Amino acid sequence: MYVRIQDEEVKISNPDKELFPSITKWDYVQYLGILSPYLLKYCYNRLLTTIRFPDGVFGESFYQKNVPASKPDFVATSKAENTQYIMLQNVPTLIWLANLACLEFHTSFHLYTDMNVPTELVFDLDPTGSPFEQVKEVALHTRTLMMEMGLDGVVKTSGASGLQIYIPLEPIHTFEETRKVSTFMARYLSEKYPNLITIERLVKDRGTKVYFDYLQHWRGKTLIAPYSPRSKEEATVSTPLEWDELETDIVPNDFTLMNIADRIQEKGDLFSSLYNGSKYNLSPLLDLMNKYL
């Protein structure tokens, strides 16, 4: 079957194939159509990596970075480091990817136009056998430190087991500069809360502490996009939160393809402050660090 979207025809093969429990490919196409205004807003002009599950979430999967040779003309691409990346620039491309059973959308921390300049400073809080309550506690401690440094940002679920924090930046800093700030924050927090937070990269040495991952934020690396589905049986979605929701009993499994539209209708796009709110200049902080650290 074919669907017509923004004057483009997109083929949907095997629409009755189940990709998640009780969610067919056709259902998935419709869910992504609802999410498209929010998912595309962040993915636009970024290098995209997807994870494909041809036989659904319980089947084999593989990463897709290079664009398939059979791509339609409406799919934009950009070459970086010998890879011809897909660019998620429009709804037809999103639905084409849905037909390919792409169940996750991971994006670069930078725009394709400048791989040296990140658009945000990002922290990935990953539990290592620790309960989600501890991840929320770490996120709140991180925000306290951010605000003491004159910064603020947005928190979202990973859609799996962790949380991710985004601080919007003016497009003037290199990854080397943002790494100085993130390294300071990671070390400060892990030293202040040694029984709760670790920056140890080896999983076997983390114990049950929350891993404060500041190293993932780098050119060429990716993270799950806001409003992207995750390849979980529950069909979870990486969902922006209000900060005070971290003081409630929410868990990542609360937010799924089946209910995310209701949440957006109730809360609005909580990630929109990254586009419409204050963007931070880290230069004063960097000057202080260069002077005293």
Q: 276: Cβ–Cβ under 8 A, 6 or more apart, which residues?
A: none
pLDDT at 292 over 90: no
Task: Tell the residue number behind the tokens 């991971």, with chain if given.
Answer: 106
**CA-based nearest residue to 189, from 207, 243, 181, 130:** 181
Among the three residues 58, 80, 111, which one is the final residue of a domain in this structure? 111
> Is the distance from CB of 43 to CB of 130 less than 8 angstroms?
no
> Is the distance from CB of 106 to CB of 223 less than 8 angstroms?
yes
pLDDT digits (tens, 9 = 90+) for 87-134: 999 999 999 999 999 999 999 999 999 999 999 999 999 998 889 999
Q: What is the pTM of this model?
A: 0.96
Round to whole Å and give the CA distance between 102 and 245.
30
Domain membership of residue 24 (yes or no) is yes
> Is the distance from CB of 210 to CB of 140 less than 8 angstroms?
no
Domain that holds residue 95: 2-111
Among the three residues 93, 111, 129, which one is the final residue of a domain in this structure? 111
Whether residue 154 is found in the same domain as residue 106: no
Find the distance separating the first CA and the last CA of the chain, reported in whole Å: 62
Average confidence (pLDDT) over 192-220: 95
Whether residue 131 is found in the same domain as residue 251: yes
> Is the distance from CB of 92 to CB of 36 less than 8 angstroms?
no
Among the three residues 81, 111, 141, which one is the final residue of a domain in this structure? 111
- What's the total number of domains in the chain? 2
Whether residue 154 is found in the same domain as residue 280: yes
Domain membership of residue 227 (yes or no) is no
* CATH number (domain holding residue 23): 3.90.920.10
Domain membership of residue 175 (yes or no) is yes
pLDDT at 277 over 90: no
Task: Tell the residue number behind the tokens 């995750």, with chain if given.
Answer: 230
Whether residue 105 is found in the same domain as residue 133: no
Report the share of the chain in percent with pLDDT over 70: 100
Domain membership of residue 225 (yes or no) is no
